[in-house]
Amino acid sequence: MASPYREEHEQFRKTVRTFAQKELAPFVDEWEKSECFPNEVFKRAGELGLFSAHYKEEQGGIGGDYWFSVAKGEELPHCRSAGVSMGLLVQGDMATPVIGDLGTKEQIEEFLKPALKGEKIAALGVTEPNAGSDVAGIQTWARKDGDDYIINGAKTYITNGTRSDFVTLLVKTSPEQGAHGCSFFLVPSSTKGFIVAKKLKKVGNWASDTAELAFDEMRVPKRYLLGEENMGFMYLMQNFQTERLIAATSCCAGLQLAIDEAIAFGRDRKAFGKPIIKREYWQHKFVELLTKLEAGRALSYKAAEAYNDDKHVNNGQVSMETVKLISMAKVFVGELSSEIIDQCMQFHGGAGYMEEYPIARAFRDQRLLRIGGGTTETMRYYLAKLMGL
Protein backbone atom coordinates (compact mmCIF):
# COMPACT_ATOMS: atom_id res chain seq x y z
CA MET A 1 0.00 0.00 0.00
CA ALA A 2 1.06 3.59 -0.53
CA SER A 3 2.33 5.41 2.55
CA PRO A 4 -0.62 6.66 4.61
CA TYR A 5 1.46 9.47 6.08
CA ARG A 6 1.33 13.07 4.95
CA GLU A 7 3.55 15.99 5.94
CA GLU A 8 1.45 16.77 9.01
CA HIS A 9 1.79 13.17 10.20
CA GLU A 10 5.54 13.32 9.84
CA GLN A 11 5.75 16.59 11.76
CA PHE A 12 3.71 14.99 14.53
CA ARG A 13 5.96 11.92 14.40
CA LYS A 14 9.04 14.11 14.94
CA THR A 15 7.37 15.77 17.91
CA VAL A 16 6.63 12.42 19.53
CA ARG A 17 10.10 11.01 18.86
CA THR A 18 11.81 14.08 20.29
CA PHE A 19 9.59 13.87 23.37
CA ALA A 20 10.33 10.16 23.77
CA GLN A 21 14.09 10.42 23.28
CA LYS A 22 14.84 13.66 25.11
CA GLU A 23 12.16 14.03 27.78
CA LEU A 24 11.42 10.42 28.65
CA ALA A 25 14.34 8.09 27.79
CA PRO A 26 16.91 9.77 30.10
CA PHE A 27 14.72 9.04 33.12
CA VAL A 28 13.18 5.64 32.45
CA ASP A 29 15.78 3.67 34.41
CA GLU A 30 14.80 5.64 37.49
CA TRP A 31 11.08 5.22 36.74
CA GLU A 32 11.48 1.49 36.20
CA LYS A 33 13.05 1.16 39.65
CA SER A 34 10.34 3.25 41.32
CA GLU A 35 7.65 1.37 39.34
CA CYS A 36 5.91 4.57 38.30
CA PHE A 37 6.54 7.68 36.24
CA PRO A 38 5.57 11.23 37.27
CA ASN A 39 2.05 12.54 36.68
CA GLU A 40 3.63 15.54 34.97
CA VAL A 41 4.45 13.30 32.00
CA PHE A 42 0.73 13.13 31.20
CA LYS A 43 0.48 16.91 31.32
CA ARG A 44 3.49 17.35 29.04
CA ALA A 45 2.17 14.75 26.58
CA GLY A 46 -1.14 16.58 26.55
CA GLU A 47 0.55 19.89 25.82
CA LEU A 48 2.26 18.32 22.80
CA GLY A 49 -1.03 16.93 21.49
CA LEU A 50 -0.14 13.25 21.90
CA PHE A 51 -3.58 12.33 23.19
CA SER A 52 -5.76 14.60 21.10
CA ALA A 53 -4.46 14.41 17.54
CA HIS A 54 -7.12 12.01 16.22
CA TYR A 55 -10.07 13.40 18.19
CA LYS A 56 -12.64 15.83 16.82
CA GLU A 57 -12.03 19.54 17.26
CA GLU A 58 -15.22 20.01 19.29
CA GLN A 59 -13.89 17.37 21.68
CA GLY A 60 -10.59 19.12 22.23
CA GLY A 61 -8.69 17.42 19.40
CA ILE A 62 -7.26 18.65 16.13
CA GLY A 63 -9.55 16.59 13.92
CA GLY A 64 -6.83 14.34 12.51
CA ASP A 65 -7.28 10.81 11.22
CA TYR A 66 -6.27 7.61 12.99
CA TRP A 67 -2.82 7.57 11.39
CA PHE A 68 -1.79 10.23 13.90
CA SER A 69 -2.38 7.68 16.63
CA VAL A 70 -0.43 5.02 14.72
CA ALA A 71 2.49 7.42 14.30
CA LYS A 72 2.40 8.14 18.04
CA GLY A 73 2.38 4.43 18.84
CA GLU A 74 5.35 3.85 16.56
CA GLU A 75 7.45 6.61 18.13
CA LEU A 76 6.79 6.11 21.84
CA PRO A 77 8.96 2.95 21.97
CA HIS A 78 11.95 5.28 21.55
CA CYS A 79 11.48 6.16 25.22
CA ARG A 80 12.93 2.69 26.01
CA SER A 81 10.17 1.73 28.47
CA ALA A 82 7.05 -0.20 27.50
CA GLY A 83 5.61 0.76 30.88
CA VAL A 84 5.71 4.47 30.08
CA SER A 85 4.30 3.83 26.61
CA MET A 86 1.54 1.71 28.13
CA GLY A 87 0.45 4.41 30.58
CA LEU A 88 0.28 7.03 27.83
CA LEU A 89 -1.49 4.77 25.33
CA VAL A 90 -4.14 3.85 27.90
CA GLN A 91 -4.81 7.56 28.33
CA GLY A 92 -5.42 8.36 24.67
CA ASP A 93 -6.29 5.05 23.01
CA MET A 94 -7.96 2.76 25.55
CA ALA A 95 -9.79 4.62 28.33
CA THR A 96 -11.02 7.61 26.31
CA PRO A 97 -12.10 6.57 22.76
CA VAL A 98 -15.44 5.32 24.04
CA ILE A 99 -16.05 8.75 25.58
CA GLY A 100 -15.35 10.37 22.22
CA ASP A 101 -17.83 7.99 20.59
CA LEU A 102 -20.63 8.17 23.16
CA GLY A 103 -20.07 11.03 25.56
CA THR A 104 -22.60 13.76 26.14
CA LYS A 105 -21.47 17.37 25.88
CA GLU A 106 -21.21 17.51 29.67
CA GLN A 107 -19.20 14.26 29.86
CA ILE A 108 -16.82 15.45 27.18
CA GLU A 109 -16.26 18.72 29.06
CA GLU A 110 -15.79 17.02 32.44
CA PHE A 111 -13.76 13.97 31.42
CA LEU A 112 -12.55 13.83 27.82
CA LYS A 113 -11.17 17.32 27.30
CA PRO A 114 -9.13 17.33 30.54
CA ALA A 115 -7.84 13.84 29.72
CA LEU A 116 -6.71 14.89 26.25
CA LYS A 117 -4.87 17.82 27.83
CA GLY A 118 -3.24 15.47 30.35
CA GLU A 119 -4.88 17.35 33.20
CA LYS A 120 -6.85 14.30 34.31
CA ILE A 121 -5.40 10.79 34.26
CA ALA A 122 -7.69 8.09 32.89
CA ALA A 123 -7.91 4.34 33.42
CA LEU A 124 -10.05 1.61 31.86
CA GLY A 125 -11.80 -0.71 34.30
CA VAL A 126 -12.89 -3.99 32.69
CA THR A 127 -10.87 -6.98 33.97
CA GLU A 128 -11.84 -8.55 37.31
CA PRO A 129 -10.21 -11.14 39.58
CA ASN A 130 -12.51 -13.82 38.12
CA ALA A 131 -13.19 -12.38 34.67
CA GLY A 132 -10.44 -11.50 32.23
CA SER A 133 -10.91 -12.36 28.57
CA ASP A 134 -14.35 -13.70 29.52
CA VAL A 135 -15.83 -10.21 29.77
CA ALA A 136 -19.35 -11.64 30.01
CA GLY A 137 -18.41 -13.07 33.39
CA ILE A 138 -17.83 -9.77 35.18
CA GLN A 139 -19.47 -9.54 38.58
CA THR A 140 -19.13 -5.86 39.50
CA TRP A 141 -22.70 -4.65 39.41
CA ALA A 142 -24.80 -1.53 39.79
CA ARG A 143 -28.30 -1.19 41.18
CA LYS A 144 -30.53 1.80 40.65
CA ASP A 145 -31.40 4.02 43.57
CA GLY A 146 -33.47 7.00 42.47
CA ASP A 147 -31.37 9.08 40.08
CA ASP A 148 -28.19 7.27 41.12
CA TYR A 149 -26.54 3.89 40.67
CA ILE A 150 -24.82 2.12 43.57
CA ILE A 151 -21.84 0.04 42.46
CA ASN A 152 -20.16 -2.84 44.29
CA GLY A 153 -17.35 -5.09 43.14
CA ALA A 154 -13.69 -5.09 42.13
CA LYS A 155 -11.41 -4.64 39.13
CA THR A 156 -7.82 -5.77 38.67
CA TYR A 157 -4.79 -5.25 36.40
CA ILE A 158 -5.85 -1.63 35.92
CA THR A 159 -3.12 0.45 34.28
CA ASN A 160 -2.91 3.99 35.74
CA GLY A 161 -5.18 2.68 38.48
CA THR A 162 -3.25 3.95 41.51
CA ARG A 163 -3.30 7.59 40.37
CA SER A 164 -6.23 7.89 37.97
CA ASP A 165 -8.60 10.83 38.28
CA PHE A 166 -11.39 8.79 36.73
CA VAL A 167 -12.08 5.29 35.45
CA THR A 168 -14.12 4.29 32.42
CA LEU A 169 -15.83 1.44 34.22
CA LEU A 170 -17.78 -1.55 32.85
CA VAL A 171 -20.33 -3.03 35.26
CA LYS A 172 -23.41 -5.25 35.20
CA THR A 173 -26.66 -3.30 35.33
CA SER A 174 -28.94 -6.22 34.42
CA PRO A 175 -27.13 -9.38 35.62
CA GLU A 176 -29.90 -11.63 34.35
CA GLN A 177 -29.04 -10.59 30.78
CA GLY A 178 -25.44 -11.81 30.98
CA ALA A 179 -23.07 -10.08 28.58
CA HIS A 180 -25.89 -7.92 27.25
CA GLY A 181 -26.63 -6.53 30.69
CA CYS A 182 -23.46 -4.43 31.00
CA SER A 183 -23.10 -0.65 31.06
CA PHE A 184 -20.25 1.86 31.04
CA PHE A 185 -19.89 4.56 33.69
CA LEU A 186 -17.42 7.40 34.09
CA VAL A 187 -16.36 7.29 37.73
CA PRO A 188 -14.19 9.95 39.42
CA SER A 189 -11.71 8.33 41.78
CA SER A 190 -12.74 10.86 44.43
CA THR A 191 -16.16 9.18 44.66
CA LYS A 192 -16.95 7.81 48.12
CA GLY A 193 -16.56 4.04 48.07
CA PHE A 194 -13.86 4.09 45.35
CA ILE A 195 -10.90 2.19 46.82
CA VAL A 196 -7.40 1.58 45.46
CA ALA A 197 -7.03 -1.82 47.12
CA LYS A 198 -3.38 -2.36 46.23
CA LYS A 199 -0.64 -1.69 43.73
CA LEU A 200 0.34 -4.82 41.83
CA LYS A 201 3.88 -6.02 41.04
CA LYS A 202 4.38 -7.29 37.51
CA VAL A 203 6.87 -9.34 35.51
CA GLY A 204 7.40 -6.44 33.10
CA ASN A 205 6.19 -2.95 32.25
CA TRP A 206 7.51 -1.86 35.63
CA ALA A 207 7.22 1.88 35.04
CA SER A 208 3.44 1.71 34.61
CA ASP A 209 1.42 1.55 37.82
CA THR A 210 -1.10 -1.28 37.89
CA ALA A 211 -3.81 -1.50 40.54
CA GLU A 212 -6.53 -3.60 42.02
CA LEU A 213 -9.62 -1.46 42.66
CA ALA A 214 -12.62 -2.05 44.88
CA PHE A 215 -16.04 -0.40 45.00
CA ASP A 216 -18.02 -0.41 48.22
CA GLU A 217 -21.55 1.01 47.95
CA MET A 218 -20.16 3.59 45.54
CA ARG A 219 -22.90 6.01 44.54
CA VAL A 220 -22.66 7.32 40.95
CA PRO A 221 -25.17 9.81 39.47
CA LYS A 222 -27.08 8.81 36.36
CA ARG A 223 -25.36 11.58 34.37
CA TYR A 224 -22.17 9.47 34.49
CA LEU A 225 -23.79 6.62 32.56
CA LEU A 226 -21.94 6.48 29.23
CA GLY A 227 -24.22 5.78 26.29
CA GLU A 228 -27.28 3.60 26.81
CA GLU A 229 -27.85 1.27 29.71
CA ASN A 230 -27.14 -2.41 28.98
CA MET A 231 -25.24 -1.58 25.78
CA GLY A 232 -21.82 -1.73 27.44
CA PHE A 233 -20.75 -5.05 25.95
CA MET A 234 -21.33 -3.80 22.42
CA TYR A 235 -19.49 -0.58 23.20
CA LEU A 236 -16.60 -2.57 24.68
CA MET A 237 -16.25 -4.72 21.57
CA GLN A 238 -15.88 -1.51 19.54
CA ASN A 239 -13.48 0.00 22.07
CA PHE A 240 -11.34 -3.14 22.13
CA GLN A 241 -10.43 -2.50 18.52
CA THR A 242 -8.44 0.65 19.34
CA GLU A 243 -6.64 -1.15 22.16
CA ARG A 244 -5.70 -4.14 20.02
CA LEU A 245 -4.75 -2.08 16.99
CA ILE A 246 -2.50 0.36 18.81
CA ALA A 247 -0.86 -2.60 20.57
CA ALA A 248 -0.04 -4.29 17.26
CA THR A 249 1.25 -1.21 15.45
CA SER A 250 3.30 0.03 18.39
CA CYS A 251 4.76 -3.42 19.00
CA CYS A 252 6.02 -3.63 15.42
CA ALA A 253 7.99 -0.44 15.99
CA GLY A 254 9.43 -1.79 19.22
CA LEU A 255 10.46 -5.02 17.51
CA GLN A 256 12.24 -3.05 14.80
CA LEU A 257 14.24 -1.24 17.48
CA ALA A 258 15.16 -4.54 19.13
CA ILE A 259 16.42 -6.00 15.86
CA ASP A 260 18.36 -2.84 14.97
CA GLU A 261 20.07 -2.84 18.37
CA ALA A 262 20.85 -6.55 18.16
CA ILE A 263 22.49 -6.16 14.74
CA ALA A 264 24.53 -3.19 16.00
CA PHE A 265 25.63 -5.31 18.98
CA GLY A 266 26.57 -8.13 16.60
CA ARG A 267 28.81 -5.87 14.53
CA ASP A 268 30.90 -5.00 17.60
CA ARG A 269 30.87 -8.34 19.43
CA LYS A 270 33.38 -10.87 18.12
CA ALA A 271 33.46 -14.62 18.62
CA PHE A 272 35.96 -17.07 17.15
CA GLY A 273 37.75 -14.32 15.29
CA LYS A 274 34.97 -12.33 13.62
CA PRO A 275 31.84 -10.31 14.42
CA ILE A 276 28.96 -12.62 15.27
CA ILE A 277 26.70 -10.88 12.73
CA LYS A 278 29.03 -12.30 10.06
CA ARG A 279 27.99 -15.83 11.00
CA GLU A 280 25.77 -17.18 8.25
CA TYR A 281 23.30 -18.72 10.72
CA TRP A 282 22.54 -15.36 12.30
CA GLN A 283 22.42 -13.53 8.98
CA HIS A 284 19.76 -15.96 7.80
CA LYS A 285 17.92 -15.74 11.11
CA PHE A 286 17.69 -11.96 10.94
CA VAL A 287 16.53 -12.12 7.32
CA GLU A 288 13.74 -14.44 8.48
CA LEU A 289 12.80 -12.24 11.44
CA LEU A 290 12.79 -9.03 9.42
CA THR A 291 10.65 -10.68 6.74
CA LYS A 292 8.10 -11.75 9.34
CA LEU A 293 8.17 -8.30 10.91
CA GLU A 294 7.50 -6.69 7.54
CA ALA A 295 4.51 -9.01 7.14
CA GLY A 296 3.24 -8.10 10.62
CA ARG A 297 3.59 -4.40 9.94
CA ALA A 298 1.78 -4.74 6.60
CA LEU A 299 -1.10 -6.62 8.24
CA SER A 300 -1.29 -4.02 11.02
CA TYR A 301 -1.30 -1.19 8.49
CA LYS A 302 -4.05 -2.88 6.50
CA ALA A 303 -6.10 -3.14 9.69
CA ALA A 304 -5.35 0.51 10.55
CA GLU A 305 -6.40 1.61 7.09
CA ALA A 306 -9.70 -0.28 7.42
CA TYR A 307 -10.29 1.15 10.90
CA ASN A 308 -9.53 4.67 9.72
CA ASP A 309 -11.97 4.30 6.84
CA ASP A 310 -14.67 2.99 9.17
CA LYS A 311 -14.23 5.87 11.63
CA HIS A 312 -13.97 8.67 9.09
CA VAL A 313 -15.91 7.39 6.08
CA ASN A 314 -18.42 4.77 7.22
CA ASN A 315 -20.19 6.76 9.95
CA GLY A 316 -17.86 5.57 12.68
CA GLN A 317 -19.08 1.97 12.83
CA VAL A 318 -16.30 -0.63 12.84
CA SER A 319 -17.17 -3.42 10.40
CA MET A 320 -16.73 -7.13 11.15
CA GLU A 321 -14.13 -7.31 8.36
CA THR A 322 -12.11 -4.62 10.16
CA VAL A 323 -12.51 -6.43 13.48
CA LYS A 324 -11.19 -9.58 11.81
CA LEU A 325 -8.13 -7.77 10.45
CA ILE A 326 -7.37 -6.14 13.80
CA SER A 327 -7.73 -9.46 15.62
CA MET A 328 -5.44 -11.18 13.11
CA ALA A 329 -2.86 -8.43 13.52
CA LYS A 330 -2.85 -8.69 17.29
CA VAL A 331 -2.51 -12.47 17.24
CA PHE A 332 0.21 -12.47 14.58
CA VAL A 333 2.27 -9.64 16.06
CA GLY A 334 1.82 -10.96 19.59
CA GLU A 335 3.25 -14.36 18.66
CA LEU A 336 5.95 -12.74 16.55
CA SER A 337 7.04 -10.48 19.41
CA SER A 338 7.93 -13.48 21.56
CA GLU A 339 9.92 -15.05 18.73
CA ILE A 340 11.84 -11.91 17.78
CA ILE A 341 12.71 -10.80 21.30
CA ASP A 342 13.74 -14.32 22.29
CA GLN A 343 16.05 -14.59 19.27
CA CYS A 344 17.51 -11.13 19.88
CA MET A 345 18.28 -12.09 23.47
CA GLN A 346 19.86 -15.35 22.32
CA PHE A 347 21.98 -13.40 19.86
CA HIS A 348 23.32 -11.30 22.72
CA GLY A 349 24.41 -14.41 24.60
CA GLY A 350 25.14 -13.84 28.28
CA ALA A 351 25.04 -10.07 27.81
CA GLY A 352 21.36 -10.31 26.88
CA TYR A 353 20.58 -11.69 30.33
CA MET A 354 22.02 -8.60 31.98
CA GLU A 355 19.75 -5.70 32.93
CA GLU A 356 22.22 -3.17 31.53
CA TYR A 357 21.20 -4.18 28.00
CA PRO A 358 17.81 -3.01 26.66
CA ILE A 359 16.98 -6.49 25.38
CA ALA A 360 16.55 -7.74 28.95
CA ARG A 361 13.81 -5.20 29.64
CA ALA A 362 12.22 -5.90 26.26
CA PHE A 363 12.19 -9.62 27.09
CA ARG A 364 10.16 -8.94 30.23
CA ASP A 365 7.87 -6.35 28.68
CA GLN A 366 6.86 -8.02 25.41
CA ARG A 367 5.15 -10.97 27.08
CA LEU A 368 2.10 -8.88 27.92
CA LEU A 369 1.02 -8.53 24.30
CA ARG A 370 -0.19 -12.14 24.17
CA ILE A 371 -2.33 -11.54 27.27
CA GLY A 372 -3.56 -7.93 27.46
CA GLY A 373 -6.57 -6.80 25.45
CA GLY A 374 -7.66 -10.40 24.94
CA THR A 375 -5.44 -13.47 25.19
CA THR A 376 -4.16 -15.04 22.00
CA GLU A 377 -6.33 -18.09 22.67
CA THR A 378 -9.46 -15.97 23.09
CA MET A 379 -8.64 -13.99 19.97
CA ARG A 380 -8.31 -17.17 17.92
CA TYR A 381 -11.63 -18.43 19.24
CA TYR A 382 -13.22 -15.09 18.32
CA LEU A 383 -11.66 -15.19 14.87
CA ALA A 384 -13.00 -18.71 14.32
CA LYS A 385 -16.49 -17.41 15.08
CA LEU A 386 -16.05 -14.47 12.70
CA MET A 387 -14.98 -16.90 9.99
CA GLY A 388 -17.97 -19.15 10.55
CA LEU A 389 -15.86 -22.06 11.74
> Alpha-carbon distance 261 to 367, whole Å?
19
Question: Where residue 100 sits, what CATH number does that domain have?
Answer: 1.10.540.10
Contacts of 93 (CB under 8 A, 6+ apart): 69, 73, 242, 243, 246
Average pLDDT over residues 98-102: 95
pLDDT, tens digit, for every residue of 178-233?
Answer: 888 999 999 999 999 999 999 999 999 999 999 999 999 999 999 999 999 999 99
The domain of 255 spans 232-386
CATH number at residue 207: 2.40.110.10
Is residue 288 annotated as part of the catalytic site, yes or no? no
CB 189 within 8 A of CB 146: no
Residue 282 domain-assigned (yes or no): yes
Q: Where does the chain show beta strands of DSSP type E?
A: 122-125, 141-145, 148-159, 166-172, 182-188, 194-199, 210-221, 225-226, 270-271, 274-275
Q: Judge whether 308 lies within some domain.
A: yes
337 backbone dihedrals φ, ψ, rounded to 5°: -60, -40
Burial group, residue 238, by CB count within 10 angstroms (0-12, 13-18, 19+): middle
| 178 shares its domain with 196 | yes
Residue 389 predicted with pLDDT over 90 = yes
In a 3-state reduction of DSSP, which class is residue 363? helix
Model confidence at 36, pLDDT cuts 50, 70, 90, reads very high
pTM: 0.94
Active-site residue, selected from the candidate residues 32, 74, 243, 356: 243
Residue 1 lies in a domain: no
In a domain, 2, yes or no: no
Q: Looking at residue 364, what is its pLDDT?
A: 97
- What is the model's pLDDT at position 312? 76
Which of 95, 121, 147 lies at the terminal end of a domain, its last residue? 121
The radius of gyration of the chain from alpha carbons, rounded to an integer in Å, stands at 21
Angle ∠(238,302,75) on CA atoms, nearest 5? 85
Looking at 195, 226, 257, the residue that finishes a domain is 226
Contacts of residue 194, Cβ cutoff 8 Å, sequence gap at least 6 = 187, 188, 213, 215, 218
**In terms of domains, do 380 and 236 share one?**
yes
Give 326's DSSP letter: H
Q: 244 and 379 in one domain?
A: yes
Higher pLDDT, 273 or 123: 123
**Helix orientation angle between 320-348 and 280-312, rounded to the nearest 10 degrees:** 150
Indicate the SS3 state at residue 346. helix
CA 10, 15, 18, 20 torsion-angle sign: negative
